[in-house]
Amino acid sequence: MFLKNYTTGKCYSYGKEISAEEYAEIMDMLKNPPDAPDGYYYTLNEELKWELCEVPVVEEELTEVEQKARAYDILMGVGE
């Protein structure tokens, strides 16, 4: 986590105080991440190195009717 306190002008990286120049370099890195392949993204770790991460799969939310239909199918042994 990278923070800047605009009241005091102090900058922090993972709880440690850093210089304004270091903060500016980190912000520049965050604005220009490397290109990730489809299904992946990059995150900046504590060592200021890019890590490739997989985008989590999010199931779409079912309506109440769809939930009941799925529960019925499960009870009846139909489908999955």
d(CA 75, CA 53): 37
**This prediction's pTM:** 0.54
What Rg, from alpha-carbon coordinates, does the chain have? 22
Tokens (6 digits) for 52? 């490739």
17-46: pLDDT as tens digits: 888 888 888 889 989 999 999 999 999 888
- Across the range 55-75, mean pLDDT stands at 85
Residue type, 33: P
